[in-house]
């Protein structure tokens, strides 16, 4: 015949002469105390480091492809919108978006022969002032011997202003050359005031 199983609690109740440490409340309390001691000695919950970033371990966020809008203005003043997909890194920064749109504008105007190929693309900066968005378009210094006619320079100037207004909804656009306000862009046409 088989004997029925007895738990420690029933053993402790029935056997008053048994060890007092075998009471369930004491065993549970001892186990919790042991866990607390181990937890305190090991420094708490183990920290798991995230795996290193793929591709060199730099902290730069992955590039995001966005569509930027640019505007081409011809010598007669007719506007043609253009769109380009560009890769931007980090947050959606208006200055980075404007610079990307200006680069796409340059590519389009170089392909059509309006922007001289030896002249670099402009850089854009966007500043918020008194609830107004100011876009500063900085055109690099013209290379020595740059030949451009008045109509092409005027078309480039108008395209820069229209692109800044379209790409970042600028209320005001300022054009600088190599970081300074100049009397002309490439020697022929003066930038528009504000």
**Predicted confidence (pLDDT) per residue in 73-129, tens digit:** 988 889 999 999 988 886 778 999 999 999 999 999 999 999 999 999 999 999 998
- What is the pLDDT, as a whole number, of residue 4? 62
- What is the pLDDT, as a whole number, of residue 92? 74
- What is the pLDDT, as a whole number, of residue 40? 76
- What is the pLDDT, as a whole number, of residue 124? 94
**Strand residues in the chain grouped as ranges (E):** 64-73, 79-88, 123-129, 132-139, 172-177
- What is the pLDDT, as a whole number, of residue 106? 94
Contacts of 120 (CB under 8 A, 6+ apart): 106, 140
Under a CB-based contact definition with an 8 Å cutoff, are residues 161 and 123 in contact? no
- What is the pLDDT, as a whole number, of residue 37? 83
Low-confidence ranges of the chain (pLDDT < 50): none
In this prediction the pTM is 0.67
- What is the pLDDT, as a whole number, of residue 14? 54
């Amino acid at each position: 015949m088989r004997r029925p199983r007895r738990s420690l609690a029933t053993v402790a109740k029935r056997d008053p002469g048994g060890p007092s440490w075998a009471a369930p409340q004491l065993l549970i309390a001892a186990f919790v105390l042991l866990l607390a001691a181990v937890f305190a000695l090991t420094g708490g919950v183990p920290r798991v480091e995230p795996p290193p970033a793929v591709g060199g371990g730099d902290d730069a966020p992955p590039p995001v492809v966005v569509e930027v809008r640019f505007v081409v203005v011809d010598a007669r003043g007719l506007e043609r919108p253009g769109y380009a997909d560009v890769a931007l890194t980090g947050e959606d920064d208006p200055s980075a978006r404007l610079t990307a749109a200006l680069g796409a504008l340059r590519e389009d105007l170089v392909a059509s022969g309006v922007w001289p190929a030896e002249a670099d693309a402009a850089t854009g900066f966007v500043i918020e002032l008194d609830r107004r968005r100011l876009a500063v378009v900085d055109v690099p210094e013209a290379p020595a011997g740059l030949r451009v006619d008045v109509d092409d320079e005027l078309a480039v100037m108008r395209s820069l202003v229209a692109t800044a207004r379209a790409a970042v909804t600028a209320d005001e656009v300022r054009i600088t050359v190599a970081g300074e306000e100049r009397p002309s862009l490439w020697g022929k046409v003066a930038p528009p005031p504000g």
